[in-house]
Structure 1
């Protein structure tokens, strides 16, 4: 059984603040199982977007972990907004969490292609 989305987001936000960063919920999704997208903003104006990794990448041992894949890397904010608008049309119950932190190391699991 996986951690509820609202609990994961709450823990993520607390961890980011404890590291001296900023985090906020830009869009609140379904508490129990809403898909979570993470928007990392940088000081130079670019953004990186992480979305849920395909379930085929999650093995039985990692079933408790939420895994993410990088959808956009150092993209313009308009590109991230456009992709999120398409995702929201497809899944209106998703979460969007905004982070302003230099490194995401150890915050969540990122699957490498």
Structure 2
């Protein structure tokens, strides 16, 4: 079964964020077809979360926080992104500003 391209998934997530009244944008474009995605959640209170997508043993897509799930400051966020880019140069980085910390890739809201 064909899967959606990363560029299409990112575009849909940005639209979802906009529909919620939040801001989201692409900070870095990776491989358009199959690049992995990092989501930077800016909660607008000085704290950030960095989420990475991954698949479980059955192939189901899910999201997990990087950095042990603790809130990151701007410097910690930048360092974590750079570390991930050193492992995967095809990575997409999407930033979202949302006080509720919602994930537009999950459609929650």
TM-score (norm 1): 0.81
Q: Which runs of 5+ in 1 are unaligned?
A: none
**Taking structure 1 as reference, are residues 83 and 106 closer, same or farther at Cα in structure 2, changes over 3 Å only?**
closer
Q: Which residue of 2 aligns with 1:104?
A: 102
Distance across 2 between alignment mates of 1:2 and 1:69 = 21
Q: Distance between the aligned counterparts of 1:94 and 1:51, measured in 2?
A: 10
Aligned to 1:14: 15
Provide runs of 4+ in structure 1 moved above 2 Å.
none
- Summarize the alignment of residues 1-113 of structure 1 with structure 2, pairs less than 5 Å apart: 1-53=2-54, 55=55, 57-59=56-58, 62=60, 66-72=61-67, 73-101=70-98, 102-104=100-102, 107-108=105-106
> CA offsets, 1:91-110, max 9 Å, x none?
1110000001123167428x
The SS at the match of 2:80 is helix
Paired residue total: 103
Q: Any unmatched runs of 5+ in structure 2?
A: none
